[in-house]
């Protein structure tokens, strides 16, 4: 009986070890930056398209973070899930914003990335995050992809509020606020303290933003 249990544990250990080795192989290939290496791994084990590393990233998300558009393109064509979220609930569009990579965002949206998804631990969206980061080109793409303009995250902020509160009032933020307003974002939605984007713009001395936000 003891021998049977020992043999079972040995089998399970070998199975887990093999699975970990397989998972490591795809992430090593992506880390190498060599698309041929990635192709070789996937050709032998296509289930590794949705493998996860310690942060919950898929190979696609790792390639996106590295800005390797060739590998991103291959993985998407091979069937990788473009809507995958990691443990921080960030998707490929959030990564494009973090890495300031409009071309990545364009590629992702063309492959079916969902601009309406609830993302991040703040239960926000790529539009809210991009507005906070001043990513004009990506915001333009997200608006065109029907991102919800007035989503409120769990902090109580919309994209407009984040652009004003977390921005610095510089031209990119002015342009983003203008784009959001032109697209139909509601300038009257206030934060949890009852302060509107206009209130915040005036409090921070952002004259250009205040002019835009006045009714």
- Give me the chain's average pLDDT, please: 93
Give me the percent of the chain exceeding a pLDDT of 70.
90
Q: 19: pLDDT confidence band, cut at 50, 70 and 90?
A: very low
pLDDT at 9 over 70: no
Same domain, 122 and 191: yes
One domain, residues 120 and 214: yes
Mean pLDDT value across residues 60-75: 98
The tokens of 65 are what?
Answer: 């973070």
Distance of CA 202 to the CA centre of its chain: 31
Q: How confident is the model at residue 214 (pLDDT cuts 50, 70, 90)?
A: very high
Q: pLDDT tens digits for 112-126? A: 999 999 999 999 999
The CA–CA distances, whole Å, from 1 to 7, 13, 134, 160, 166 equal 10, 18, 65, 67, 64
Q: Is the pLDDT of residue 16 over 90?
A: no
Boundary-marking domain end, from 81, 100, 124: 81
Question: Is pLDDT at 56 greater than 70 in this prediction?
Answer: yes
* 152 and 77 part of one domain: no
- 81, 106, 141 - which closes a domain: 81
97 is a domain residue: no
Number of folded domains in the chain? Answer: 2
Q: What are phi and psi of 20, to 5 degrees?
A: -65, -40
Residue 46 placed within a domain: yes
Within-domain flag for 105: no
Residue 96 lies in a domain: no
Domain boundary among 58, 81, 104: 81
Looking at the chain, the number of H-run helices and the number of E-run strands are 12, 0
Question: Does 136 share its domain with 75?
Answer: no
Above 80 in pLDDT, residue 5? no
- Look up the CATH number of the domain holding residue 29: 1.25.40.20
Q: Residue 11 pLDDT more than 80?
A: no
Bridge partners (DSSP) of residue 119 are 124
pLDDT of residue 215: 86
Q: Above 60 in pLDDT, residue 174?
A: yes
Domain limits at 184? 115-215
pLDDT of residue 111: 98
Residue 178 has pLDDT above 80, yes or no: yes
Segment 59-80 mean pLDDT: 98
211 and 125 assigned to the same domain: yes
């Amino acid at each position: 009986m003891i021998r049977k249990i020992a043999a079972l544990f040995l089998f399970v250990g070998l199975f887990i070890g093999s699975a970990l080795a397989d998972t490591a192989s795809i992430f090593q290939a992506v880390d190498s930056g060599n698309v041929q290496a990635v192709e070789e791994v996937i050709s032998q084990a296509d289930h590794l398209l949705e493998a996860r590393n310690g942060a919950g990233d898929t190979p696609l998300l790792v390639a996106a973070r590295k800005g390797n558009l060739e590998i991103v393109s291959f993985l998407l064509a091979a069937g990788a899930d473009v809507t995958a979220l990691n443990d921080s609930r960030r998707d490929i569009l959030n990564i494009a914003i973090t890495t300031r990579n409009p071309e990545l965002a364009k590629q992702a949206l063309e492959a079916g990335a969902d601009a309406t998804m609830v993302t991040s631990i703040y239960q926000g969206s790529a539009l809210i995050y991009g507005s906070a980061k001043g990513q004009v080109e990506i915001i333009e793409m997200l608006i065109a992809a029907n991102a919800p303009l007035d989503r409120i995250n769990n902090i109580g902020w919309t994209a407009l509020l984040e652009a004003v509160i977390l921005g610095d009032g510089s031209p990119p933020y002015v342009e983003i606020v203008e784009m959001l307003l032109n697209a139909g974002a509601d300038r009257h939605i206030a934060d949890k303290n009852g302060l509107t984007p206009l209130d915040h713009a005036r409090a921070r001395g952002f004259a250009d933003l205040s002019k835009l936000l006045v009714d």
